[in-house]
Amino acid sequence: MRRLFAIFTMVAVMAVIAPGGLCSAAAIIDRGSSGEAVVDLQKMLKSRGFDPGSLDGVFGPRTEMAVRSFQEKLGLVVDGIVGPQTAEALRSDFASRARRLLAGKTIAVDPGHGGWNSGAVGQGGTREADNVLAIGLELERMLKQLGGRVVMTRRTDKELTGPGSSDAEELGARVAVAERAGADMFISIHNNAYEKNPGVSGAMTFHHGGDASGRLAARLLEGITGETGLEPVGVEWAGFYVLRHSRVPATLVEIGFMTNRQDEKALSSSAFRSRAARGLLVGIVEYLGGR
């Protein structure tokens, strides 16, 4: 099913995010509707402070009541139906909120590995370094469309410190890029691997302690799993170099498992990469909004 996110995101962002995979803004969702589109609607309502009840993908009385409350607050026709007018209001509401929260913020985006270090390589030959760079560049475009400032630790398949450098030197150079830019947060993007059990799939986030980093990790995991459909493996503490040495809220995200054939196939898809970037965007906005 095509996802309802197109209804919630500004037109300029829609032009960047795989427009072929998005539903029409003219779609109508009302009592009796069900599926992923309703889950998306429920998540958006909840994030705006309108309680739709359980995020179960069923447009029941609680979800209708939340839609009516949203419509009443914005001065729309209160009919409990998500048609073009309500959809446009939701889209504009997300865009204005995101722009307000991103204003003056600098996000450091760190696509892991690169150059001599390809990261994990799947059975199909897909390289982690390529996957995460594509996701990182897509996230950069989305953030900039909404007025955020972005600093990338790498923009090509190249390491920062050159062949022969130690891991600590390379990772230290990435943290330094964020510090020089005065970044407000640091997000390192990776793909996971678990050779012992190729059946393991999903997404994880890590942080090195502190309320801010913990919240950032939690919001990013919610965003990634909500937009990609990956199962949430969890939010965990870790002593990764980039987390230990970052002076700002920092998290390392693991999107999918390269040892899982389905995850690997998905990660090689531009549509999935866009959804992953979109999930990170949603997580960033929700974090900045204080959730």
The CATH number covering residue 280 comes to 3.40.630.40
Rounded to whole angstroms, the Cα distance separating 86 from 29 reads: 10
Instruction: Check whether 19 has a pLDDT greater than 90.
Output: no
The structural domain count of the chain equals: 2
Is the pLDDT reported for residue 55 higher than 90? no
The boundaries of the domain holding residue 25 are 5-99
Do 246 and 137 share a structural domain?
yes
Q: Mean of the pLDDT values across residues 159-171?
A: 90
Domain finish residue from 79, 99, 119: 99
- Give which of 245, 221, 231, 170 is closest to 201, Cα–Cα: 231
Domain match, 71 and 180 both: no
Domain identity same for 169 and 274: yes
What whole-number distance in Å separates Cα of residue 29 and Cα of residue 271? 24
pLDDT at 130 over 70: yes
Task: Give CA–CA dist 246/104, Å, rounded.
Answer: 20
Same domain, 57 and 128: no
Q: What is the mean pLDDT of the segment spanning 32-49?
A: 84
**pLDDT digits 0-9 by tens, 242-283:** 999 999 999 999 999 999 999 999 999 999 999 999 999 999
Tens of pLDDT, residue by residue over 78-124, are 999 999 999 888 878 878 889 999 999 999 999 999 999 999 999 99
Domain boundary among 68, 83, 99: 99
User: What is the pLDDT confidence band of residue 291, given thresholds at 50, 70 and 90?
Assistant: low
Tens digits of residue pLDDT in 193-226: 999 999 999 999 999 999 999 999 999 999 999 8
Distance CA 189, CA 180 (A): 20
